Amino acid sequence: MMDQEKKVNVEARLGRIAGQVSGIQRMVDTDRYCVDVLMQIAAVRAALGKVSKILLESHIQTCVVGAFGTDDQNERAAKIEELVKIFEKNVGR
């Protein structure tokens, strides 16, 4: 579970990202220069990457550390599998 400060940070970032995506939609609707649209898309991707980093860090600090603080081998294995899947999806692109 994410601490309240991180949650507020993530929520604020997601709100800004939603605004950026709406702005991109308006840019497309008004036939803005393609490079300008692509630059905004790159900015959204970077912002989402930062949110992903915050969420992953929080997950490791709470859920993963908690799983490795128990004697439950199945829980530990499940957390390792989760992390591997996350890295496959994000790094394996």
Model confidence at 88, in pLDDT bands (50, 70, 90)?
A: confident
With 70 as the cut, is the pLDDT of residue 92 above it? no
Per-residue pLDDT, 43:
98
**pLDDT tens, position by position, 5-54:** 999 999 999 999 999 999 999 999 999 999 999 999 999 999 999 999 99
Q: What is the pLDDT of residue 34?
A: 97
**Domains of the chain, start order:** 4-91 (1.20.58.1000)
- pLDDT of amino acid 82: 92
Task: Report the pLDDT value the prediction gives residue 39, as an integer from 0 to 100.
Answer: 98
CB 5 within 8 A of CB 61: no
Residue given tokens 């959204």 in the structure block: 44
CB contact at 8 A, 65 and 57: no
Whether 17 contacts 48, CB under 8 Å? yes
Neighbours of 24 (CB within 10 A): 19
